[in-house]
Amino acid sequence: MRTLALIAQKGGTGKTTLALALSVAATTAKLKALVIDLDPQGTACNWSDRRKTDSPIVIDAQPSRLSAALQKAEQNGIDLVIIDTPARSEQSALAAAGVADLIIIPCRPQAYDLETVPNTSKLLALADNRPALVILNAVPAQGNRQEQARQALDQMGMHVCPHTIGARASFGDAGALGQTPEEYDPAGKAAEEIRKVYKYIYRVLAKEETRNERQETQSGYAVGR
Ligand SMILES: Nc1ncnc2c1ncn2[C@@H]1O[C@H](COP(=O)(O)OP(=O)(O)OP(=O)(O)O)[C@@H](O)[C@H]1O
Ligand SMILES: [Mg+2]
């Protein structure tokens, strides 16, 4: 089982939108996906209530119940857990970061979002500096905001996904129906972008796993010596 946590201290960056889109991408790839909604607003749960299918599974939880929820998920054969967190909640962000194999930080390419990334990053340092990936979201079709944001994030030492998500109305339209763009408009640009981001995330997860295995083997040798 692998676990992703969507975290950003700023509100409205696209945490829930990406959590749901990634969970449907996982389901399409025949994985058993679970979304854990830590946000008291319950946006992910409300989305699930509007759906006509039971997958992906969406449950709400409190940060203190996260470990128990993950244990149950593992016992129930879940392949991918995606934790959606509320903005401005250190408790939720830390709880989710602490159990994540990879932290996803959605960020709009605008100063208001970018200036909050160091805060998110400092918070993540408290969670053992787990691997984190920034995804530029709602990128406008015109202008060079993406390049400027990429430069700023590079300077902060952040790992930025090479694939971005454009500002596309289909996210809101699909969400209103309890869908994601992949279901609402499978041939559209938003669906294509999500598929690319999903694949990239899986590659990063696989690399992290290999690195962890190598480290475990090395420390095993050290203990054995
Ligand atoms: N790529 C996108 N293109 C167009 N609209 C988007 C995109 N991503 C998100 N949105 C819209 O922006 C709004 C905020 O997105 P979302 O709820 O996912 O953010 P959030 O980070 O979860 O917010 P909160 O911090 O309040 O939980 C929603 O109306 C959503 O439909
Ligand atoms: Mg949200």
Per-residue pLDDT reduced to its tens digit, 134-182: 999 999 999 999 999 999 999 999 999 999 999 999 999 999 999 999 9
Q: Which two tokens stand for residue 71?
A: 């244990």
3-state secondary structure of 184: helix
Residue 218 has pLDDT above 80, yes or no: no
Residue-level pLDDT at 60: 97
Among 6, 9, 16, 23, which is best to mutate for testing ligand 1, by the most ligand atoms less than 8 A from CB?
Answer: 16
Strands 33-37 and 80-84: what pairing? Answer: parallel
Name which of 115, 125, 203 is nearest 155 in CA terms. Answer: 115
Residue 81, H or E segment? strand 80-84
Distance CA 187, CA 202 (A): 22
Classify each residue of 90-107 as buried b or exposed e, where b means 16 or more C-beta atoms within 10 Å of its C-beta: eebbbbbbbbbbbbbbbb
Give nearest CA residue, ligand 1 atom 14: 12
Q: Which residues line ligand 1 (CB under 6 A)?
A: 8, 11-17, 39, 43, 86-87, 137-138, 165, 167-168, 171-172, 175
Could you please state the CATH topology (level 3) that the domain comprising 2-224 is classified under.
Rossmann fold (3.40.50)
CA of 171 to the centre of ligand 2 (A): 13
What angle is formed at CA 168 by the lines to CA 21 and CA 19, rounded to 5 degrees? Answer: 20
Which ligand has the nearest atom to the CA of 116?
Answer: 1
Give nearest CA residue, ligand 1 atom 8: 14
Per-residue pLDDT reduced to its tens digit, 76-122: 999 999 999 999 999 999 999 999 999 999 999 999 999 999 988 88
Question: What is the pTM (predicted TM-score) of this model?
Answer: 0.95
Amino acid at site 82 = I
Report the number of secondary-structure helices (H) and strands (E) in the chain. 10, 6
CA of 221 to the centre of ligand 1 (A): 47
Give nearest CA residue, ligand 1 atom 27: 86
Per-residue pLDDT reduced to its tens digit, 186-202: 999 999 999 999 999 99
Residue-level pLDDT at 223: 47
Please state which of the ranges 57-61, 128-132, 202-206, 211-215 shows the lowest mean pLDDT: 211-215
Residue ranges of domains in the chain: 2-224
